[in-house]
Chain A
Amino acid sequence: MMNIKAFTLVSAVERELLMGDKERINIECVECCGRNLYVGTNDCFLYHFLLEEKALPAGTAAFTATRQLHRHLGFRKPVNELRAASALNRLLVLCDNCITLVDMLNLEPVPSGARIKGATAFALNENPVSADPFCVEVCILSVKRRTVQVFLVYEDRVQIVKELSTPEQPLAVAVDGHFLCLALTTQYIILNYSTGLSQDLFPYCSEEKRPIVKRIGRQEFLLAGPGGLGMFATVAGISQRAPVHWAENVIGAAVCFPYVIALDDEFITVHSMLDQQQKQTLPFKEGHILQDFEGRVIVATSKGVYILVPLPLEKQIQDLLANRRVEEALVLAKGARRNIPKEKFQVMYRRILQQAGFIQFAQLQFLEAKELFRSGQLDVRELISLYPFLLPTSSSFTRSHPPLHEYADLNQLTQGDQEKMAKCKRFLMSYLNEVRSTEVANGYKEDIDTALLKLYAEADHDSLLDLLVTENFCLLTDSAAWLEKHKKYFALGLLYHYNNQDAAALQLWVNIVNGDIQDSTRSDLYEYIVDFLTYCLDQELVWTYADWVLQRSEEVGVQVFTKRPWDEQQKNSFNPDDIISCLKKYPKALVKYLEHLVIDRRLQKEEYHTHLAVLYLEEVLQQRAAAASQGSEPSDTQTKLRHLLQKSDLYRVHFLIERIQGAGLPMESAILHGKLGEHGKALHILVHELGDFSAAEDYCLWGSEGQDAPCRRHLFHTLLAMYLHAGPAAHELTVAAVDLLNRHATEFDATQVLQLLPGSWSVQLLCPFLTGAMRDSIHARRTTQVAVGLARSENLIYTYNKMKLKGSAIWLSDQKLCQLCQNPFGEPVFVRYPNGGLVHTHCATNRHTTPSSPSPGTRT
């Protein structure tokens, strides 16, 4: 067990001062009360000294004693025990089995001669039951066998309170409240003197050793147990602390929080009550008295008196910390809580936690360190400042004084061990990341985030990017320089962007893509730039880099125009014509852009539609030329072209028909003719040039889309006529005609069709058509009937209402007055309101209101 210096031993009364050269005089007992020190000797003298304490810088003190009065007590016996009762200004002196009361200053016995006779030992109650301040409670071991007595002692009289007998002869006593703690011959007991109840503690052997009974605090005693144990016991007979382990031959014990001090033949030992560990050993020969008096611990040999001066707790804690004994230091600090004012304690304790944290940190005990830093509310910059170059140059931080640790920096702490260094850095990373969003960071977020950025950059850590794309307080200049140094150009771009310097960011990224500088953070940096520009609000920048992105890839590059967010497009910040002229050099991009305008944004502008159609057409023609042989399937572009020609009504049809002439694009020209309303021409092309009957059928459908039914019927009839016109020789067309009829029975006017059809066609052949037409006509008839029925009943309802309104006849007489003018009616014409009120016609026209006071219940 490592030691701690908790006490220093200093001399208080030198031998010469007491007895000069008289060899046979021995110290028997001592008492200390404030500055008064009393010594009783074997030749029945009582000495009084005044103690002068002088503090020394090392935290200890020196004492000088000056001799005051001394007095012979008048017996030929030694003075056995001394106790001061300062409130009474009395000393209780046990000598020759008698306790006398003497004046504390002149050492004279009280004139009343009050005394307690027949005592072999006594103890004062330090936790008195009585509230009277001018009275002390004393328990004595009586000369009568197995008897203890309790007295009240006043200034000049004594009064017995209680006498109790004990199961065995008592040898030592201590008192707390109503409880006596007694050492009997074979065991320790607690005896409640007011109830007489007793409680066994534990056995021991008084023949082998002298018992010790020592009150150490409220309701708790310290007892010498078997095997040199110092046992703690409460008045309830329970042990609340583990025992301390003394030498077998222990003579006396004292308490000076948080320590238990014991004396044996050769040593004074110091144990902590907090962890029961032995903390200090002081060699001290021939000691025979060890006592504490209101916090002052005194030891004495038979020749001299010494004081154990406790080192200030703070100093002890600092010593422990200096020896890296964190656990013990914290226990001691916590134990000191109740002995130090709250404010002062908190400041002290926080600092100790921080120091302890650095000790753990230096031993790479990061978990423990973190907890200590957290509970000690460490200014994180103390930790950051250990790492060279992490704090921004602009930081105003200076380390606390006195320093929390002994390290200049991490290099010194790790002694250059790279692995340890890396561990420390990883710890700081996780620690800063944890605290940056807590209140610990308040006030120095810049320092924390900048440090974190530097650590991430140096370690090539993924979180660098996360840090930069979320809210952060990284300082620009410091961080930029660091990122550049570590070639984190992409991240540097993010930093610029975060600081609203998009131009600088883009320039960096473009340089990376161009290969001018190296940074492989993102393999898709080009796409990233395109994306960035797409969402970039700065038009200038977009124009600056438009050519660059388009040159690398027309399809992807054009996204900076086509994928812009809608709301921004709405505000029309980019003029499509500007973009189109920019895209002249990039045909693929141009097509994509026009598609975007026409299809996605549905711009209804002829130019764009025509332009797009022409571009499609050109490409189709080019593909034609290249492929030479005519592929049966239409290419993608061709499909798009057809789709556009069909769906759009805006392009210039004539212009396109001209361009398409003779290009061998029958389908496209059919669509164009259709657009001009030349359905005959269009169908002719489809049927006769292309021979594509299903296309012709489709044409009838889409060509009449959005038009009325007769128009559609006209188309179908035109097509049918075209099929039938060819005559039965053109077998194919006949089949097509039958199919057309059967498939679209309802599109035709059946009566008209039947007249057109050749008589040779069987009913069987046209069965689907005929049933379809039939069903259609029946359906039409029935719906019409339903409509007629509904109309009739509606009419009936109106008639009924009308009848009701007419109601019964109204009698007009002289008594009936106009409700508006209150005059009788002069002619048979009147106006009747729905509520029954009658008025003159002229009154009604004058006042377009209902009568102001219509009589309830319409008296007609």
Chain B
Amino acid sequence: MRKPDGKIVLLGDMNVGKTSLLQRYMERRFPDTVSTVGGAFYLKQWRSFNISIWDTAGREQFHGLGSMYCRGAAAVILTYDVNHLQSLVELEDRFLGLTDTASKDCLFAIVGNKVDLTEEGAAESGEKEGHDPSKAGGGCASPRVPKQVQLEDAMALYKKILKYKMLDEKDVPAAEQMCFETSAKTGYNVDLLFETLFDMVVPMILQQRAEGPPQTVDITSSKPTKRTRSGCCA
């Protein structure tokens, strides 16, 4: 088994669409899913790196496994359902704590899925024609299904996470960059989400490699005399 170079973990309440997002990205389809048992993972080759992406189970029963899945993760995707406010609340209450085991410079993305069910989302994913000319200028009609969670709410959560992690906003990607609204059903923003993260994770992998223990011993460049002297005179 090829060892992955980096890990990304999807967290979020059951039924928000974690499995669907992953299937959409990896297999380019939107099949019927069953609620995930335990967890599953995919290996994605990105440039010369192998990135493992873990799909976790949102069901309460499997909640305890989250910490272990997150251990050493380079990025965590916190997923909620834009039509379900509670699913955003759960991210903070229940899932954020699981990420304590993640890598210390772990990235966080917050993803509101199922935008296709909202009026805005439907417009974004293809029904662009058919604008009533009489309403020229009035860009958005009143949504048939009002979106319960706005992107701003997700961004506010992102900033809370930074506080919780005691991270400086200047040191991490901006909220605008890390909050997404997606639809696993239409594929809207799905590639963008994953590939943005991959591109951010790659430098982290490289840095880890650079910091990690050297794989080979360099016998040519050892300068014993100098080192000993500085060692014993200090």
Chain A residues packing against B (C-beta within 8 Å) = 187, 200-204, 225-227, 229, 231, 233, 236-243, 245, 276
**6 A–B contacts from the bound complex (CB under 8 Å):** A202-B64, A229-B65, A236-B72, A237-B101, A239-B69, A243-B37
Contact A276 B68 (CB under 8 A): no
State which size class the interface on B falls in.
Answer: 10 to 19
Kindly provide the distance from the CB of A255 to the nearest chain B CB, expressed in whole angstroms.
14
9 extra interface residue pairs, beta carbon distance < 8 Å, beyond A202-B68, A241-B1, A243-B38: A202-B67, A225-B38, A226-B64, A237-B71, A238-B68, A238-B71, A243-B39, A243-B65, A245-B38
Is residue B40 within 8 Å, beta carbon to beta carbon, of the partner chain?
yes
CB distance from B205 to the nearest CB of A (A): 16
Given the interface pairs A242-B39, A242-B40, A243-B39, the reply to whether A231 lies near B72 with Cβ below 8 Å is: no
A202→B65 contact, CB < 8 A: yes
| CB-contacts of B70-100 with A (<8 A) | 71-72
B41 touches A242 (CB 8 A): yes
Contacts of B220 in A (CB 8 A): none
Contacts of B215 in A (CB 8 A): none
Which residue of chain B lies nearest to A274 when distances are taken between CB atoms in the complex? B1
Q: Is B46 an interface residue (CB 8 A)?
A: no
Q: Are the CB atoms of B68 and A239 closer together than 8 Å?
A: yes
A231: chain B residues within 8 A (beta carbon)? 38, 65, 68
Known: A239-B39, A242-B39, A242-B40. A203 touches B64 (CB 8 A): yes
Distance in Å from the Cβ of A204 to the closest Cβ of chain B?
Answer: 7
CB distance from A222 to the nearest CB of B (A): 13
Q: For the complex, give the distance between the alpha carbons of A515 and B129 in Å.
A: 60
| Distance between Cα atoms of A226 and B68 in the complex (Å) | 13
One digit per residue, 1 when the CB lies within 8 angstroms of any chain A CB and 0 when it does not, for chain B 15-55 equals 00000000000000000000001111100000000000010
Give the Cβ gap from B194 to chain A, nearest Cβ, in Å. 19
Given A240-B1, A242-B38, residue A227 in contact with residue B71 (CB < 8 A): no
Contacting residues, chain B, for A229 (C-beta < 8 A): 37-38, 62, 65
State A241–B65 Cα separation when bound (angstroms): 13
With A237-B68, A238-B72, A240-B1 already in contact, the answer to whether A276 and B61 are too (CB < 8 A) is no
B67 and A227 contacting across the interface, CB-CB below 8 Å = no
A241 to B4: give the CA distance in the assembly, Å.
11
Main SS of chain B's interface residues?
Answer: mixed
B68 contacts across to A, CB distance below 8 A: 200-202, 231, 233, 237-239
A187 CA to B68 CA, complexed, in Å: 12
**Chain B residues near A201 (CB-CB < 8 A):** 68
Question: With A231-B38, A242-B40 known to touch, is A225 a contact of B71 (CB < 8 Å)?
Answer: no
A237 to B65, CA, bound (A): 11
Say how far B56's CB is from chain A's closest CB, in angstroms: 10
Residue of A nearest to B101 (CB): A237
CA gap between A229 and B56 in the complex, in Å: 13
Is A227 a contact partner of B64 (Cβ separation < 8 A)? Answer: no
Give the nearest-CB partner of A227 in chain B. B61
Within the assembled complex, what's the spacing in Å between the Cα atoms of A187 and B65? Answer: 11
Q: Which 10 A-B pairs have the closest CB atoms?
A: A243-B38, A203-B64, A229-B38, A242-B40, A202-B64, A202-B68, A202-B65, A227-B61, A238-B71, A242-B41
B37 / chain A contacts, CB cutoff of 8 Å: 227, 229, 243, 245
Chain A residues with CB under 8 Å of B39's CB are 239, 242-243
Q: Please, how many angstroms separate the alpha-carbon atoms of A276 and B101 in the complex?
A: 25
Complex Cα distance, B39 from A202, in Å, reads 14
Is the beta-carbon distance between A276 and B40 smaller than 8 angstroms?
A: yes
> Which residues of chain A come closer than 8 Å to B38, judged between CB atoms?
225, 227, 229, 231, 242-243, 245
In Å, the complex CA distance between A245 and B62 comes to 12
Chain A residues with CB under 8 Å of B72's CB are 236, 238
Q: Across the interface, which residues of A come within 8 angstroms of B61, CB to CB?
A: 226-227
- The answer for the CA separation of A243 and B62 in the assembled complex, in Å, is 12
Least CB distance from B99 to A in Å reads 14
Whose C-beta in chain A lies nearest to the C-beta of B65? A202
- Known contacts: A242-B38, A243-B39, A276-B40. The answer to whether A226 contacts B71 by CB under 8 A is no
Q: Are A204 and B40 in contact (CB under 8 A)?
A: no
CB < 8 Å neighbour of A225 from B1, B41, B54, B65? B65
Query: What residues of chain A lie closer than 8 Å to B41, measured between beta carbons?
Result: 242
Closest beta carbon of chain A to B66's beta carbon, Å: 8
**Chain B contacts for A238, CB-based, 8 A:** 68, 71-72
Contact of A226 (CB < 8 Å), options: B3, B62, B67: B62
In the complex, what residues of A have CB within 8 A of residue B64's CB? 187, 202-204, 226
**In the complex, which residues of chain A have a beta carbon less than 8 angstroms from the beta carbon of B101?**
237
What's the minimum C-beta distance from B47 to chain A, rounded to whole angstroms? 22
A200-B40 in contact (CB<8A):
no
Q: List the B side residues contacting A239 at CB < 8 Å.
A: 39, 54, 68-69
Complex CA gap A243/B3 in Å reads 17
| Chain B min CB distance to A276 (Å) | 7
Q: Which residues of B contact A226 (CB under 8 A)?
A: 61-62, 64-65
Q: Please name the residue on chain A nearest to B68 by beta carbon.
A: A202
Across-interface contacts of B54 in A (CB, < 8 A)? 239
Chain A residues closer than 8 Å to B1, beta-carbon distance: 240-241
Task: Give Cα distance in the complex from A269 to B64, angstroms.
Answer: 25
